[in-house]
Chains A and B, each alone.
Chain A
Amino acid sequence: MLIGLYNYWVVVVLMMVGFYIVIAHGNLIKKIVGLSIFQTSVFIFYISTANVDGGTAPILAEGIEQYSNPLPHVLILTAIVVGIATTALGLALAVRIKETYGSVEELEIQNKDNQDC
């Protein structure tokens, strides 16, 4: 149970670590990093589900009878692209926020907004 589902335990731990960082940290860069970890855990989850016991890589070659399910791999390639785009956009926003607010700390930004009102 523990060893057999090793991958899934890693997924759960990573997911919680990422989620916790997103919620608990006030630094925008750290939030983005947390978000990345959170998304990565889902990538590992998809790839783990594709695994077939005793299967090899899904390559068409002589002597290969059993192979992993290639579909989740393909799906997750798309999700990785999406993840990169999100991270890039998030970081770009952080740069712009730093330029206009002079800070990347959530609390300071909130304070400055409150002063404006």
Chain B
Amino acid sequence: MLVHLPILQVIVPLMAAPLCLFLSKPRLVWLFALIVSGLSFLISSLLLEQVMTSGTIVYELGGWEAPWGIEYRIDQLNAFLLLIISAISTVVLFAANTSISKEIPENKHTIFYILYLLSLASMLGIVATGDAFNVFVFLEISSLSAYALIALGEDRRALWASFQYLIMGTIGATFILIGIGLMYQMTGTLNMEDLSKRLPEVEQTRTVFTAFAFVIVGVCLKLAMFPLHLWLPNAYAYAPSIVTAFFAATATKVAVYLLIRFTFSVFDLSFSFTHLPLQLLFVVLGLVGIFVASTAAIYQTNIKLLFAYSSIAQIGYMLVGYSMTSVAGLTATLLHMFNHALIKGALFLALAAVVYRIGSAQLSQFQGLGRQMPITMAAIVIGGLSLIGVPLTVGFVSKWYLVMAVIQNGWWPLAVLILLGSLLAVVYVWRIVETAYFKPALASSETIKEAPLSFLIPIWTLVLANIYFGIDTRLSVQVAQAASQSLFGVSP
């Protein structure tokens, strides 16, 4: 059984998705989805433990040997990502039943859970697989389920946002497909491990350069790197709140993973960063992204939109750490992926609770909420502090490692800019705090009560995780460091 964990990780939610159709009551379906997601979490914890103690796990699908068959290859990086995705999915699902009861019509609940599980399965698949074409297939499953999930939003703008995402997402995925095709043409293999061995021989050809360019642009569209981020804000703002919480915490992380996998493992480091000006490009675009998106966030009146822009800014931090090409820089990026998932998961879940109670995410409706929904608002405040990077929260840990890595590279001005970027986060978080705590409650909202327990439990699980991993960083730092060392080929 333990030997088959890598495939079970993907196949359990994938098979569970259609099974939802046989369950009659939406509540039963919810319970079933929750159990399946919990199982995935269990599997990913076991996988991480196994990888940390005994190294990379290679699993051949159907017993076919690697370059011919598809193999799943789980190293520290994969296991780390699998854990993040399945953990967030489980926590978010806990609140799903209550949240969607107000936002999605009853007859679509079953469909919602099916799409949710498909989305979960495909994200896990993208991370687990060691086959380049398999990545494309899972990427498309994940995109298609994402488009449908976003279109379930109440507001009609959800449809338009979903359509725009469909256009951009399909272009991105097709670019990746072209890139993979060109690589196959040059090497005759689709296995990532095999590709990394054969690509250096043909490295200096124009075809390989083209393949690389296509893959990178495609992945950057998916991860919403500035200036390819246009699909993200509306998609996050108008999707059902639960969907936003799940995607904001996981979807872009998967794309960042792909970027790391392709530039570090499939193409080697020297090719990615010395032959092409990738470093300069990503540092500049990452920084511009931080400032433009944070500034845009300040001016939003819809809080979901505000945090969506803030997500784009956080991607900027990840890109800056990534493009440092040092073990410390990559560690900071991986840490931030973990920490940002916790932060945004908590924030968007708390927002879902607010939307559940007041039916809107407009800033003007937040007046006086600090007294009416004290526990939920406290969660938003702590999440916000974590986003800014206040000590004792996870946000501080990732900023600390990022700034240390920058200084280690001797890029002093960059460190200053990163801290300035955090100041912008102070501004937009303060706007929420000010409205919620220092303005009188609206006359229409006097009857508003605290969110139900089915929200408070998952929200505070994530908030406490924010604080716990901000103090006891052993697990996250250790795994992130091990993953980044193995990517650089340094033995720990």
* B31-39, B155-163, B336-344, B393-401: which lies at the interface: B155-163
For A22, list chain B residues within 8 Å (CB): 167, 171
In the docked arrangement, what's the CA distance between A19 and B178, Å? 14
Are A79 and B166 in contact, CB atoms less than 8 angstroms apart?
A: no
Inter-chain CA distance A93–B146, complex, in Å, is 13
Q: Which of A49, A79, A96 contacts B177 (CB 8 A)?
A: A79
Interface pair B171/A109, CB less than 8 Å apart: no
Assuming the A-B contacts A78-B137, A86-B170, A100-B159, are A93 and B147 also in contact, with contact meaning beta carbons closer than 8 angstroms in the complex?
yes
User: Interface residues of B: mostly helix, strand, loop or mixed?
Assistant: helix
Chain A nearest Cβ from B485, distance in angstroms: 34
Please tell me if the beta carbons of A38 and B174 are within 8 angstroms of each other in the complex.
yes
CB distance from B179 to the nearest CB of A (A): 10
Confirm or deny: A64 has a beta carbon within 8 angstroms of a beta carbon on chain B.
no
Q: Judge whether B409 is part of the interface by a CB distance below 8 angstroms.
A: no
B156 in complex: contacting residue of A35, A85, A100, CB < 8 Å = A100
Is the beta-carbon distance between A42 and B159 smaller than 8 angstroms?
Answer: no
| B144:A86 contact, CB within 8 angstroms | yes
CB contacts (< 8 Å) of B178 on chain A: these are 42, 45
- Asked whether A89 lies within 8 Å of B148 as measured between CB atoms, the reply is yes
Residue-wise, chain A 47-65 has the 8 Å CB interface mask toward B (1 for contact) of 0010000000000000000
Q: How would residues 27 to 38 of chain A score, 1 for a CB under 8 Å from any chain B CB and 0 otherwise?
A: 010010001001
**In this assembly, does B140 line the interface, its C-beta being within 8 Å of a C-beta of chain A?**
yes
Residues 51 to 92 of chain A near chain B (Cβ within 8 Å) = 72, 75, 78-79, 82, 85-86, 89-90
A42 to chain B, nearest CB (A): 6
Identify which of A75, A93, A109 contacts B151 (C-beta below 8 A): A93
List 23 A–B pairs whose Cβ atoms lie within 8 Å, in order of A's numbering: A22-B167, A35-B167, A35-B171, A42-B177, A42-B178, A46-B181, A72-B184, A75-B133, A79-B177, A82-B140, A85-B144, A86-B166, A86-B170, A89-B147, A90-B163, A90-B167, A93-B147, A93-B151, A93-B163, A97-B160, A100-B156, A100-B159, A101-B160
A residues engaging B (CB < 8 A)?
A: 19, 22, 28, 31, 35, 38-39, 42, 45-46, 49, 72, 75, 78-79, 82, 85-86, 89-90, 93-94, 96-97, 100-101, 109, 113, 116
